[in-house]
Amino acid sequence: MRPFTYTRATDVNSAVQEITRHEKAKFVAGGTNLLDLMKIDVMAPQHLVDITRIALNTIEATADGGLRLGALVTNNDTAYHEQVEKRYPLISHAILAGATGQLRNMATDGGNLLQRTRCYYFYDTQTPCNKREPGSGCSAIKGYNRDLAILGTSEHCIATHPSDMCVALAALEASINVTGPKGERTIPIADFHRLPGDTPHIDTNLQEDEIITSIDLPAKGFAEHYTYLKLRDRASYAFAIVSVAAALDLDGDTIKEARIALGGVAHKPWRKPEAEAMLQGQQATRENFRKVAEAYLEGAKGYGDNDYKIELAKRAIVRALEQAFNKEGAA
């Protein structure tokens, strides 16, 4: 690891001051992704601001009937929180589908949003990568790309976002509260992560001097008919090849509202509300689910090794919706 200096912030305002005061500074909380990337020289901040002592580690009810997850609550404490388990089981299941017990005890909810891609070329400093080194080229497009993106890609980057939690947050339409030198603002999850375009080195719309303070879950948690389906190479501790967060609001067999978000297929959790709307007022049948799946993958593009993901994602959507309908959330 390259040498750096270290200070500790005790409240949100001092954290923002510290990050603006130092050159090439980063916040550190769980550290599970940042320190890992610093060890292999993919990230090299000159200063770390430790934010773990800031009081952002509670889960509280919001005035509109939702739940506010403090940015520094650990992933395990979130997944195992009584209210999250009961009212937002989709979040619990998604979190528990990722990483390991040890990592989830360290990783924070705010940090989960800021995970960098797991594209192998991003990790391999011997190869070009536009995300790691802007303008150097993308090794993945014509290289080995079995795990990489099929939706929303650009000629500069086909990386995927690795988070499971964020896929569930996208399906539930969570919003992210942040504080910067100019004050507070709220970013809907759909606008938080970016598509690569010609700036793949910028993952999110969070500014360098802004800190995430909390994540708001809306009152509607789809706690009855939901599923988080994660397809991967091992049953545990592996990133998603394709994942689906599915949630249904039903009136008998008729769908009042459907939510679908995909992981492992794009630079951000992939949601397409106009395709979801096709299910509104429809019967919960395999045929209708397949129609939506087709619409979701419209415009998908494979790069050779990952061509299989297009059909896999469609089938995953159908299966996830069936599981959600049948109340097989954990299956």
Partner 1 sequence: MEKENPPLPPLQPVTLRINGKEQRLELAPWTSLLDALREHLHLTGTKKGCDHGQCGACTVLVDGKRINSCLTLAMMQEDKEITTVEGLAKDGELHPVQQAFIDNDAFQCGYCTPGQICSVIGLVNEGKAKTMDDIRDLMSGNVCRCGAYVNIVKVVQEALERSDAR
Q: Write out the binding residues for partner 1, residues 101-160 only, by CB under 8 A.
A: 101-103, 105-106
| Residue 32 interacting with partner 1 (CB under 8 A) | yes
From CA 34, how far away is CA 111, in angstroms rounded?
A: 9
* Residue 250 bridge partners (DSSP): 255
Secondary structure (3-state) at 153:
coil
Selected binder of partner 1 within 14, 17, 52, 127 (CB under 8 A): 52
Place of tokens 């719309």: 205
CB 34 to partner 1: min, Å: 9
Confirm if 315 and 159 have CB atoms less than 8 A apart: no
| Residue 1 interacting with partner 1 (CB under 8 A) | yes
Selected binder of partner 1 within 6, 126, 252, 299 (CB under 8 A): 6
Selected binder of partner 1 within 48, 151, 279, 324 (CB under 8 A): 48
> What mask of x and - would describe binding to partner 1 in positions 209 to 248, judged by CB under 8 A?
-------------------------xxxx-----------
Q: Where are the alpha helices (DSSP H) in the chain?
A: 12-21, 34-39, 75-79, 82-87, 89-96, 101-106, 109-113, 120-123, 165-172, 189-192, 273-276, 286-296, 308-325
From CA 313, how far away is CA 309, in angstroms rounded?
A: 6
CB 83 to partner 1: min, Å: 16
From CA 258, how far away is CA 220, in angstroms rounded?
A: 12
Nearer to partner 1, 44 or 277 (CB): 44
From CA 171, how far away is CA 189, in angstroms rounded?
A: 9
Contact segment (CB under 8 A) with partner 1 among 3-11, 264-272, 304-312, 313-321 equals 3-11
Q: Which residues bind partner 1 (CB under 8 A)?
A: 1-6, 8, 28, 31-32, 35-36, 38-39, 48, 50, 52, 76, 80, 99-103, 105-106, 234-237
